[in-house]
Structure 1
Amino acid sequence: MRLMTRDFKHSLRIVWLVVSLGILAMLAAPFALGSERLAHLFPVCEWKAKYGRECAFCGMTTSFIDISEGRLGDARRANHGGIPLYLAFVSNELCVLGLARRKGVMSCRH
Structure 2
Amino acid sequence: MLASLAILLLTATVVNSQTNSSHHIEKRQAKYLCGMDPYKFLSDVPCNVYTFCPNGGVKLFIGCTNNLQCQIHHAESVCIDNCCCALPRIMPSTPYPPWMFDSSTTLGNYFLTISVVFILALLKL
Per the normalisation by structure 2, the TM-score is: 0.17
- Please identify the structure whose Cα radius of gyration is greater: 2
Give TM-score, length-normalised by structure 1: 0.19
Whose helix proportion is higher, 1 or 2? 1
Greater relative CO (CA pairs within 8 A, separation 6+): 1
Q: Which of the pair is proportionally richer in strand? A: 2
